[in-house]
Chain A
Amino acid sequence: MIEVKHVSGGYANNRSMIKNVSFKVDKGEFFVLLGPNGSGKSTLLKMLSGVLPVHKGEIWLDGKPLQAYSAIDRAQLMAVLEQEEQIAFDFNVEEIVALGRYPHQKGLFKRLSAEDRALIKEAMRITKVWPYRLTPFRQLSGGEKQRVLLAKALAQNPHILLMDEPTNHLDLQHAYQLLNLLKQWQRSKALTVFAILHDVNIASLYADRIALLQEGQVTDVGDVHLLKNEGRLQEVYQVKVSHHPHPQIPKPQFLLSPAHDRSPSRPSFANLYDIEQDHSAVLVHFQRPLKTFSNLNIGSGSEWASHFFLCRLLHTDAASSRQAKVSRWLAERHIPVGQSVGMTANYALSDPIILEKEAGEKAFLAIVTLESRILDMMTPDQPSAAERVIESVQTMLFIDGHLNDRAFVQAVISAVEAKSKVWHEHAQLVSNRKASTRKHTRKYSPDGLLIAATQRGNPVTGAEGTAVLGIEIDQIITEATDVAVRQFLGLEKETLV
């Protein structure tokens, strides 16, 4: 639909802002042009709309060169939604939207036909500006103005819509409403959209394809996933960018890391936290948030948190939900819910085993506790035996180090392997001595695991670094779990293998 062939051009003084740019936009495509300020995005868009001259190369629209179109024919094919415009005089909304029919009006007197009016109405309805169609444009808010201008562009009934940062003055709600609307219109009417967006994340969500413009040259064209090349983004925008999958749809999202967060002072790991314990809970408070990855039932998944807890909530208030109970419990301790990750157990928790360890640059803190309950074993041979059964093992591992996603996964694997290893050893032991003990190792609830990292110091990189990390984790988790299970079973250290 739009073909740009080796185009150079820009402002009139022979200095070409755009240098030898080529790309193609297919019919019905949502194409987004990305690039830093001053890269020539608006210049390129103005060349497409015929406002600025093309010095070299050709622009083809719908199989015809741009300059072969008359002004009217071009406007029938293509509409432009600009950033908020300065409109002279107090035109009302309806009069502005009606201008969208300008290129389609025929006859000597150029009256609005019934079809014109229907399209104006539709455009105003779909952009939800109909309720204030008689309001002067100047009295509208920025978001309403933008919707009115969109209505004008849609009333033009174009096949191609060019947009220069259409969401600039809009809040989150209106920006998404506008883009959803466009996406819908694009799909239902096979509209070709060519947009400049400054927000890489919005571009990723809405664009079918993107082009990266850098210093007047298109450096990359293609699917949004090409942006996952963080080096390219960093080169173009001159900032450190990390990509991240969108939680719901298969599109990448991009995150900036501000420079100010790196504090120069570096207290030792042991000084970063306090541990608080009472009969039913263990709480760890960190001075600064840690990046966590866990399956604990409060704040699971990937998070940043400063407060970590394992607790048993008593069933004093059966009506309220687990979440409400936890919130109340945390509020009593003046801990913000949003910065906490933890687990609430249904049954009693054993005394937590707390182990600290330093290994080179890194330091570790492991906390392991067992959830257990009394089980009535109504078996024929032992009719009234009440046995204590381990429900689950809850593990929290805090690491003073900088872990990437790969290292996090490695940490999970190592911790789980270590715990399973200990578990199976003891299970063997317990089953051998079954007759003499009244305690069992049967698990009914899922184990909990939390990995939290301070994200300071040198990042863990490469397979080797990850492997070393894995070995450290294996050691500390093995030890902590071992002590916890032995304590539960009432075993002496010597009896262990």
Chain B
Amino acid sequence: MAFCLWSFLTPFPSWNGVFLCFWTGVKNALISGLFRMGWGSLPKGSVFTFFTSKMLWLYVLSGGLVFVSLLSALFISSVHIPVSHIVQIMMEKGFGWGSTRGIEENIQSIIWEVRLPRVLLALFVGAALSLSGAAFQGLLRNPLADPFTIGVSSGAALGVVSVIFFQLTIFGGFTLPLFGMIGGLVILAVVFALTRLSNRSMAIETIILAGIIVSSFVSSLISLIVALSGEELRQILYWLMGSVGRRGWEDIRLLLPFFVSGSLLLLIHHRELNALAMGDETAHHLGVDVRRRRMVILFGASLLTGASVAVSGTIGFVGLVIPHLVRLVIGPNHRHLLPLSMLVGGAFLVYADLAARTVIAPQELPVGVITAIIGAPVFAVLLLRKR
């Protein structure tokens, strides 16, 4: 749905025919998935086969979506570079195959040093936010939960905003993302502590409540900093709206360990997430160590959220809408929901970032604005359909 809207929103000046074909296929599959076959009654996989043919097709589709999104995001820009050059550069720089002779140095640098990190960052952040959103929704048994519900992203934002406001440079270029990361984890610890103190069994209602308390407190601190700030105001606001622009390989290097460990942590807990969706007591009876697993999953989801917010600011709606969308198509089984949310979320944010920098080019929009512009109506439709 989001992608259908997207195709109308974005002008593709020199769209390659092959891409167009593939894109049309993807779009039609999604449209047919959502409309023709009815919402929520779709190829729910059988546990007896890992891949039903529909499920396999959806994985292929999502993978294709990611691939196409990457290539098109690399391709479309104010500076025209032929696809063949892009492929050549990727092959040479990435795998050491072929050569880049005959391609200007600055073109190579635009693709490799500017566009690729930005696109990859969008992919990783989108994937991380969607995955952690899916995990938060499953864990909190609340379809309205997202990475922002329990305040981890607010904590990360507070960390980053403090760095900008106080102009801290303790760790050089890494100061900003590191403080973001630390802020997120500190808030997670505070939420844990609050929850433990009021209710030893870590009931989800208590977690949500503690998260809301902490995140509104942190939000007011951010507002306070915004109110007190002078010339940093624009930088802070722009950052708060979220963006993956002007990022380099070092941001990816910073994000990657958290991304990999957080994703692994969540992906291996798909059975626990399924069990926890049945309720705490049922999960306990099934042999899940509810308290510990919940903390581990929250930790993993917070790693992803905190790291994403630390490098790209608060990008809303990806973590809320993408897992929803995927769940509508494939059902709630976390075994498929988690990886497919990653793929779709990553591709979505790559496209959103592409829109952010092409809609009013040469100026850029914050990508968080785009995701909310697309995400809010989509979410409204979902809510109405659900009713």
Contact = CB atoms under 8 A, between A and B. Distances in A.
B277 A91 contact: yes
Nearest to A120: B47
Contacts of A110: 271
Contact of A71 (B142, B274, B289, B332): B289
Contacts of A90: 40, 331-332
Nearest to A139: B41
B333 A99 contact: no
B9 interface: no
B101 interface: no
In this complex, the interface size class of chain B, counting residues with CB under 8 Å from chain A, is 20 to 34
A51 B281 contact: yes
Nearest to B48: A117
Interface string B261-292: 00000000001001101110110111111000
A373 interface: no
B50 to A, nearest CB: 8
Contacts of B141: 88-89
A92 B47 CA distance: 10
A91 B333 contact: yes
B85 interface: no
B287 A85 contact: no
B274 A95 contact: yes
A85 B286 contact: no
Contacts of A103: 286-287
Nearest to A153: B285
Contacts of A136: 40-41, 44
A146 B138 CA distance: 23
Main secondary structure of the interface of B (DSSP, over half): loop
Contacts of B327: 89
B284 A50 contact: yes
A99 B284 contact: no
Contact of A102 (B44, B200, B287, B331): B287
Contact of B287 (A75, A88, A89): A75
Contacts of B277: 87-89, 91
A280 interface: no
B248 interface: no
Given A95-B274, A99-B274, A89 B332 contact: yes
A96 B285 CA distance: 13
Interface in B142-186: 142-143
B284 A49 contact: yes
A85 B40 contact: no
A400 interface: no
A85 to B, nearest CB: 5
A102 B281 contact: no
Interface of A: 12, 46, 49-51, 70-76, 78-80, 82, 85-92, 94-96, 98-100, 102-103, 105, 110-112, 117, 120, 133-134, 136, 156
Given A51-B284, A89-B277, A94-B46, 17 more contacts: A49-B285, A76-B287, A79-B285, A82-B281, A86-B279, A88-B138, A90-B332, A91-B277, A91-B332, A95-B331, A95-B332, A99-B275, A102-B286, A103-B286, A105-B271, A111-B50, A120-B47
16 contacts: A49-B281, A50-B284, A70-B289, A71-B284, A71-B287, A75-B285, A80-B281, A82-B281, A88-B278, A90-B331, A91-B331, A98-B47, A102-B275, A102-B287, A110-B271, A134-B44
